[in-house]
Amino acid sequence: MTIIVTGGAGFIGSNFIFYMLKQHPDDRIVCLDSLTYAGNLSTLAPVMDNPRFRFVKLDICDRPGVYQLFEEEHPDVIVNFAAESHVDRSIDNPEIFLQTNIIGTSVLMDACRKYGIQRYHQVSTDEVYGDLPLDRPDLFFHEDTPIHTSSPYSTSKASADLLVMAYHRTYGLPVTISRCSNNYGPYQFPEKLIPLMIANALSDKPLPVYGEGLNVRDWLYVEDHCKAIDLILQKGTVGEVYNIGGHNEMKNIDIVKLICEYLGKPESLITHVTDRKGHDMRYAIDPTKIHNELGWLPETMFKDGIRLTIQWYLDNKDWWENIVNGEYRNYYEKMYGNR
């Protein structure tokens, strides 16, 4: 098969490309990425010379460009990771999220309708469900949980999900959607919690934690996520949504303390900053459906995944130091400097 992976120079997309090239030696991967701030071409260096891989610099909102690529490649499958995905950035500038996450998704599906496709897969997020109360650990997000978004980011992703299902119902487009919990692992852009804390701790810089750090997230190791998407592409039912959760719930403050402990850094580096607007308190996914239908379960416990992740950042300082020394520094100072 020929698989177009959009947003493949980003965190989860790149890990998915590495996984698929390794697991499916007969498949060809075409990576489409516009290389915005979170897209890093150096991430794809290990596969750039692979004859089964092609990189194309292209924005998914560029309709003529996307159509031309479909004409050239005749793809069998589209996996759409391309998205603006940082909540703080969406609060600061919602428009780019609406453009990429909604309009870009519609362009991809129109191309699928025009040129034909075996499967269009939309990579979504548990944030479309809103949040859960901290005092109800018995509650989880299910596939039929009503959408109840909190930020421009989650609203744009929920809108895209609804659009995908509308294309399935109206045009018969063969689609699937997955909604995942918080991912972590190699190649994650260092504005996200775990790589940010690792990078700052290694430099003995303050570790900015929103509020009291009591917000709870369900953490999913990125390779487990890639395996789940692969299963959905192979065996998932067209027109269905699958929740992909790690069953690894952790408070933000506990993760930061764990990173300090692993790196031998004092907890005095932790700095509490003004909380994010509309900050969701708890996310927790029930992955029963994907387990029962496709046999998937997360394989990586958080204690093991966080150790692997920290070690990766220790072993790959050049990768993330090149990022934090660039344009990202301006954004970082804006978000955390006066809080």
Is 110 labeled as catalytic in the residue annotation?
Answer: no
* CA neighbor of 157 nearest in space, from 180, 140, 188, 141: 180
The 3-state DSSP composition of the chain as helix, strand, coil percent (nearest 5) reads: 45, 20, 35
Angle between helices 193-202 and 302-315 (to 10 degrees): 50
Q: What is d(CA 196, CA 339) in angstroms, rounded to the nearest whole number?
A: 16
Q: Of 120, 129, 153, 187, which residue is the catalytic one?
A: 153
Q: Of 33, 59, 84, 127, which residue is the catalytic one?
A: 127
Q: Of 59, 126, 131, 230, which residue is the catalytic one?
A: 126
CB–CB of 294/235 below 8 Å? yes
Question: Which H or E run includes 33?
Answer: strand 28-33
* Residue 276 DSSP class: P
Is 127 labeled as catalytic in the residue annotation?
Answer: yes
Could you tell me the two tokens for 188?
A: 């994650």
Q: How many CB atoms lie within 10 A of CB 181?
A: 25
String of DSSP letters for 188-227: --TTSHHHHHHHHHHTT--EEEETTS--EEEEEEHHHHHH
Distances (CA, A) of 129 to 75, 94, 268, 310, 338: 31, 19, 35, 30, 31
Residue whose pair of structure tokens reads 């050239």 in the numeric block: 72
- The Cβ-side half-sphere exposure at 249, using a 13 Å CA radius, reads 16
Q: Please classify residue 263 by burial: count the beta carbons closer than 10 Å to its beta carbon, then call 0-12 exposed, 13-18 middle and 19+ buried.
A: middle
Active site residues: 126-127, 153
